[in-house]
Amino acid sequence: MSITVEAVYENGVLKPAKALPLKEHARVQVTIEESPDVPQAGEAARRGYGMLRWTGSVEDLDYLINDAENDPLEGS
């Protein structure tokens, strides 16, 4: 059986968002895959800081990344 559920990691414990169809003490294998979200995308950009020939500040980079008006792909 294979199921996919959302969970939150708090205080060293994964907490599923809903009850799991498992018997008490069932042994399972777990594969962890972080859900994509906006804060993680921003963090990825900060981790990549310095990989490009960017000479501005991290704050300026955050502004350019997070402000839709600066995105050439956003409709106009």
Q: What is the dihedral of CA 51, 58, 36, 22, to 10 degrees?
A: 100
What is the reported pLDDT for 49? 65
Into how many domains does the chain fold? 1
Q: Is the dihedral of CA 47, 40, 72, 62 positive or negative?
A: negative
Per-residue pLDDT, 23: 93
Between 59 and 53, the higher pLDDT residue: 59
- The domain containing residue 19 runs over which residues? 7-70
Region 42-51: mean pLDDT is 72
According to the model, what pLDDT value does residue 26 have? 93
In a domain, 2, yes or no: no
State mean pLDDT over 9-18: 90
Residue 1 in domain:
no
Is residue 76 assigned to a domain?
no
**How far is residue 5's CA from residue 20's CA, in Å, rounded to a whole number?**
8
Assess if residue 19 is contained within a domain.
Answer: yes
Within-domain flag for 38: yes
- Let me know if residue 75 belongs to a domain: no
Q: Is residue 63 part of a domain?
A: yes
Question: What does pLDDT average to over the chain?
Answer: 80
| 53 is a domain residue | yes
